[in-house]
Structure 1
Amino acid sequence: MRFPLIDMMRGIHGKINSTVGGQSSQQVAFLRQLQKEMKVEASMTIPLHELNVVVFDIETTGFFPDQGDEMISLGAVRVCGREIHENEVFYSLVRYEKNLSPEIERLTDITSDELKHAPYLSDVLIQFFEFVNGDTLVAHHANHEKSFLQNACWKLFRAPLKHRIIDTSFLYRIAEPKANMVRLEDFCEHNGIPVADRHHALGDAKLTAKLWCCYLSKIDELGCRTLSDIYERVAKL
């Protein structure tokens, strides 16, 4: 699926003059038009082995965007069916003017100095949505990512987040309803996926993508063929 304004934005994105908050009228118009053109419901009936998704992860200063916590990095990788496209990735740090806590610096290996020279969040989000290009989003325990994206879209662009975001928990709740795990690394180890680059947005996105593909195979054996099937199964749990 293509969006007319994306091609236009490729040409003008580098010429946009940021305002104090980083957003511009062109960016706001782009995102609002993108939201209007999305056909979110169409993804519900596409066979999962043909569904294009973008698996993503964010690193943040905390857990509560409405209390001032902010995104500091965003990473993503495209997955077509059960094939991870390792060469189709997105990654960016996000500008943060304050100093990170020592705990966050140790956890993410991101420094305060790096973030002071990083792109504004508005620029990062426009580039990210251009990369997504209308595909379904996937995240591990997606409420965290969803809350920050919703907050940012409304704060920066006065636009709601309309992208569908699928939580990986939907899949393993169907395939392994008795699984008593929460952490991404625990699920990876449980499924024989080597854990690397943990707490790096792109590294975690790649791990989540492998987990997504693994559980797609498991739910396929249980008769789940579309996102609609997944939602129906989860609703009955």
Structure 2
Amino acid sequence: MTFDPLFFMKGKFSANQRGQSQQQVAYLRQLQREMRVEETLHVPLTELNVVVFDIETTGFYPDQGDQIISIGAIKVKGDTIKEEESFYSLVKSEKKISKEIEELTGITNEEMNEAPPLSEVLFQFFQYVQDLTLVAHHANHEKNFLQHASWKLYRSSFKHRLVDMSFLYRIAEPELNLITLDECCNYNGIPIYGRHHALYDAKLTANLWSIYVEKLARKNCLSLKDMYEGITKG
């Protein structure tokens, strides 16, 4: 039997929406085929274009029903943050979010009801990202949710390169034990604002990226290849 990659989307959309979904799957798979992930290893960090992003979720375990409720991102080249090139969207939740999540993120159930579905937001996000390298603070959280969503919605693996900021911290300042985003920002003199809002957290992380690109350069760590080799040796 031939497997239909859109099986999980059928029944939820009209014929026109299914057609749009098929176009989205085709677009994303073509994007994945054209990605030149290995080439980014050798681009100087001072010239590398990245998308620094953050997601807010209802919990930590997508395979147990936790969901993405917002995505925020901003583009950076080297140490230059492109303030005018940002992305932000709420994501419609399939179930009511808890009072704790409302208080933590400032996102209400009323806003969730008006938000676009994950299939639409994720497609728009990947259109925004194209084939650029992704960066996130403690990226395993983001990676797990994007892997889960990519497979559930598109029956496709998540193939973008995703750099964890903790790698940069460990190479630049191995004697420190910086863990939380607040700790990293405080140490580097970055004013903290809008915590647990996906776009604001992405901007805080982008500020850290721009600082640590310079710190790594002073340690002669000039590319992602150098960074990964430095982590392996460490």
Q: TM-score normalized by structure 1?
A: 0.90
Confirm whether residue 43 of structure 1 aligns to residue 44 of structure 2: no
Equivalent pair of 1:23/1:123 in contact (CA under 8 Å):
no
Pairwise CA distance, 1:17:
4.0
Partner SS, residue 53 of structure 1:
strand
Contact 2:169–2:178 (Cα < 8 Å) also in 1: no
8 A contact 2:55–2:71 mirrored in 1: yes
Is 2:37–2:161's contact at 8 Å kept on the other side of the alignment?
yes
* 1:174 is the counterpart of 2:167: no
- The answer to whether 1:203 aligns with 2:193 is no
**2:111 maps to which residue?**
114
Question: Counterpart of 1:41 in structure 2: which amino acid?
Answer: E
Cα separation, 1, equivalents of 2:220 and 2:109? 48
Counterpart in 1 of 2:182?
A: 185
* SS in structure 1 of the partner of residue 50 of structure 2: strand
| Match in the other structure for 2:69 | 72
Consecutive unaligned residues of structure 1, counting only runs of 5 or more, are: 1-15
**Structure 1 contact 97–116 (Cα < 8 Å) conserved:** no
Aligned partner of 1:82 among 74, 79, 86? 79
Compute the displacement of 1:223 (Å).
Answer: 0.3
1:133 Cα offset (Å): 1.5
Moved beyond 3 Å, runs of 4+:
16-19
The C-alpha deviation readout for 1:179-233, integer Å capped at 9, x for no partner, is: 1221101100000000011100000000000011111111110001110000000
Whether 1:233 aligns to 2:230 is yes
Q: SS state of the match for residue 194, structure 1?
A: coil
In the aligned structure 2, how far is the partner of 1:98 from the partner of 1:162? 28
Q: How far is the alpha carbon of 1:97 from its aligned partner?
A: 3.1
TM-score, length of structure 2 as denominator length: 0.91
**What CA RMSD, in Å, does the superposition of the two structures yield over aligned residues?**
1.4
Matched residues in 2 for 1:179 and 1:144: separation?
22
Number of residue pairs matched?
220
Q: Secondary structure at the match of 1:186?
A: helix
Contact preservation (8 Å) 1:23, 1:122 = no
- Structure 2 unpaired stretches of 5+: 1-14
TM-superposed deviation, 1:23: 7.5
Task: Determine the C-alpha separation between the residues in 2 that align with 1:81 and 1:45.
Answer: 14
